[in-house]
C-alpha cells in the first residue's frame, strides 16, 4: 500500500490516468473514424465509373467538346448537321476524361438527338471523337 501512495505522490498518477483514458477512448474514436470512412466511400462513385453530370449542359468547355464532336462527325461523313445544344452529360475518368454527350442537332431542318463519346486529355491538348451515333429512344423537343 505504501508503494501505491509513493506512485501517486511522485507525479506518475496523471500519466497513468491519461494512459487509462486513452486506452478506453481510442477504440471508440477508431470505430467512429472507420464508420465515417465507409460512409464516405459509399457515397463516392467508383473510380472509372460513368457518372451523370447534371447541370453541365451549359458549361462552355462541354459545349465546345460537343461542337467538336459534331464537326468531326461532319468531316468524316459529310453529314448536314448543325449543333444546337447539349442535352445531357456523363463522364468517366480514364487516362484523361471520357465524355458521353447527348447532343441536339439540326439535320436538314429536323431536330435530332445524337450521342457522342469524346476522349480528352487536356494536359496533352488532345481530344478525339470515339463514337457518334443516333441517340437510343431520345426524341428532340423544341
Q: Tens of pLDDT along 106-125?
A: 998 899 999 999 999 999 99
Q: Are residues 35 and 81 in the same domain?
A: no
Q: How far apart are CA 21 and CA 10, in angstroms?
A: 19
Q: Are residues 23 and 82 in the same domain?
A: no
Q: What is the enclosing helix (H) or strand (E) of 34? A: helix 12-43
For the record, the C-alpha cell of 116 comes out as 457522342
Spatial contact of 101 and 116, defined as CB atoms under 8 Å apart: yes
Q: Are residues 55 and 122 in the same domain?
A: yes
What pLDDT score was predicted for residue 82?
94
Q: Which residue segment(s) compose the domain that 8 sits in?
A: 2-43
In three-state secondary structure terms, 123 is helix
- For residue 69, pLDDT beyond 60: yes
Q: Are residues 24 and 72 in the same domain?
A: no
Q: What is the pTM of this model?
A: 0.65
Q: Are residues 7 and 76 in the same domain?
A: no
Total domains present in the chain: 2
Q: How far apart are CA 22 and CA 37, in angstroms?
A: 22
Q: Are residues 37 and 72 in the same domain?
A: no
Amino acid at each position: 500500500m505504501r508503494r501505491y501512495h509513493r506512485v501517486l505522490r511522485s507525479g506518475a498518477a496523471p500519466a497513468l490516468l491519461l494512459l487509462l483514458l486513452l486506452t478506453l477512448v481510442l477504440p471508440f474514436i477508431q470505430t467512429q473514424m472507420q464508420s465515417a470512412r465507409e460512409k464516405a466511400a459509399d457515397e463516392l462513385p467508383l473510380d472509372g465509373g460513368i457518372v451523370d453530370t447534371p447541370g453541365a449542359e451549359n458549361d462552355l468547355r462541354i459545349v465546345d467538346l460537343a461542337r467538336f464532336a459534331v464537326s468531326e462527325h461532319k468531316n468524316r461523313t459529310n453529314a448536314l448537321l448543325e449543333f444546337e445544344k447539349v442535352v445531357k452529360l456523363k463522364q468517366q475518368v480514364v487516362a484523361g476524361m471520357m465524355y458521353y454527350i447527348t447532343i441536339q442537332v439540326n439535320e436538314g431542318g429536323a431536330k435530332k438527338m445524337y450521342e457522342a463519346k469524346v476522349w480528352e486529355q487536356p494536359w496533352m491538348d488532345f481530344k478525339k471523337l470515339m463514337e457518334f451515333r443516333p441517340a437510343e429512344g431520345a426524341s428532340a423537343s423544341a
